[in-house]
């Protein structure tokens, strides 16, 4: 090999190797950012301030996501002084790169340390459903996650809505079932948007929707001020605002961040853990903070 070709080859291979090392050994293990969004939906009352801290896609499984690391994430979340904490699904890793299993109850026991004046509320993700073989077999819930969250006092909103009171103002918090709850070629869901939003017809109080997968967003009516989602992990690899592979039927349209369409607002978290492979590049694990009003 000529010296020039060798140097050119090294000039390509060295940065590539460095990027691969960072993506597999640094970003998914050691980085954690706080991402702040400030949506201003037209249907949100002027001056009603609400801080939401959202944790998505924890995918608990050492060595990438350990119980101690989740405890640190919980402490950092509490330091943000949220009015409301929401958990957006996919709590346990099911990829083959996990060094040891962590019991479901231990994961939720850590999450139960979260506190906020308006409470801590959860929805389930597709992986939560997939890990329950009995729910898969009967094509229905509840899952063992529902029972485990209930034991530790964290309500799971499964196609349901609850009315909260904040600074003298009523508001709705709704939670949609996973849109990919069941394994299979079509990955049918356990979601029912009409049933989820039915209680909102009683009044015109502002509403927030939790939906693990963001693909429901085009069907969400303007009655809902804000939709919060996870699932995509921001693509896990993101360069200059583009993700080559996104677990959404809409590709990069709903891959990550604050999206506004036809006056409707969606915030998609990049998540905390990893799915399929423990790799992240350009989209570090994040605590998503949403400030309304």
Task: Grade residue 1 by pLDDT with cuts at 50, 70 and 90.
Answer: low
CA distances from 131 to 58, 124, 144, 153, 177 (A): 14, 11, 9, 21, 15
- Rounded percentage of the chain residues whose pLDDT exceeds 70: 95
Has residue 23 been placed in a domain? no
Q: Higher pLDDT residue, 18 or 40? A: 40
Has residue 1 been placed in a domain? no
Domain count, the chain: 1
CA 148 to chain centre: 19
Has residue 227 been placed in a domain? yes
Question: What dihedral angle (degrees, nearest 10) is formed by the CA atoms of 204, 210, 213, 218?
Answer: 10
pLDDT at 11: 59
Whether residue 170 contacts residue 134, with contact meaning beta carbons closer than 8 Å, is answered with: no
Q: Which residues are within 8 A (CB) of 28 and not within 5 positions of it... i.e. 6 or more apart?
A: 64, 273, 274, 278, 279, 280, 285
Per DSSP, 156 falls in state: B
Phi and psi for 136 in degrees, rounded to 5?
Answer: -65, -40
Task: Grade residue 3 by pLDDT with cuts at 50, 70 and 90.
Answer: low
Q: Residue 127 is part of which domain span?
A: 31-292
**What pLDDT, in 10s, does the model give residues 159-183?**
999 999 999 999 999 999 999 999 9
CATH number of the domain at 213, please: 3.60.21.10
Separation of alpha carbons 68 and 160, rounded Å: 32
Q: Which residue is listed with tokens 């961040």?
A: 257
* Sequential DSSP letters for 189-233: ----HHHHHGGGGG----EEEEESSGGGGGG--TTSSEEEE-SSG
Has residue 280 been placed in a domain? yes
Has residue 52 been placed in a domain? yes
Has residue 14 been placed in a domain? no
Has residue 20 been placed in a domain? no
**What pLDDT, in 10s, does the model give residues 234-256?**
999 999 999 999 999 999 999 99
In 3D space, the residue among 248, 241, 182 whose CA is nearest the CA of residue 217 turns out to be 248
Whether residue 210 contacts residue 203, with contact meaning beta carbons closer than 8 Å, is answered with: no
Has residue 18 been placed in a domain? no
């Amino acid at each position: 090999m000529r010296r020039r070709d060798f140097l050119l080859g090294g000039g390509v291979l060295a940065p590539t190797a460095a990027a691969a090392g960072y993506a597999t050994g640094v970003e998914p293990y050691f980085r954690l950012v706080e991402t702040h969004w400030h949506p201003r939906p037209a249907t949100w009352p002027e001056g009603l301030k609400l801080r939401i801290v959202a944790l998505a896609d924890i995918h608990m499984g050492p060595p990438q996501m350990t119980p101690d690391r989740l405890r640190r994430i919980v402490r950092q979340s509490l330091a943000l002084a949220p009015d409301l904490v929401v958990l957006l699904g996919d709590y346990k890793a099911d990829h083959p790169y996990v060094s040891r299993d962590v019991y479901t109850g231990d994961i939720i026991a850590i999450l139960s340390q979260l506190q906020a004046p308006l409470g801590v509320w959860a929805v389930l993700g597709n992986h939560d459903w997939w890990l329950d073989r009995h729910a898969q077999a009967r094509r229905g819930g509840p899952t063992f996650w529902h029972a485990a969250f209930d034991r530790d006092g964290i309500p799971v909103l499964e196609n349901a809505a609850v009315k909260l009171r904040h600074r003298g103002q009523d508001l709705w918090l709704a939670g949609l079932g996973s849109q990919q709850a069941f394994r299979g070629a079509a990955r049918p869901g356990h979601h029912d948007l009409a049933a989820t939003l039915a209680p909102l017809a009683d009044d015109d109080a502002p509403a927030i929707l939790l939906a693990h997968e963001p693909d429901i967003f085009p069907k969400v009516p303007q009655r809902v001020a804000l939709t919060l989602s996870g699932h995509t992990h921001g693509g896990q690899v993101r360069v200059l605002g583009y993700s080559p592979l996104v677990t959404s039927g809409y590709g990069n349209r709903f891959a990550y961040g604050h999206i506004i369409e036809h006056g409707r607002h969606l915030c998609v978290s990049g998540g905390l853990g990893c799915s399929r492979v423990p790799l992240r590049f350009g989209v570090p694990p994040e605590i998503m903070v949403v400030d309304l009003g």
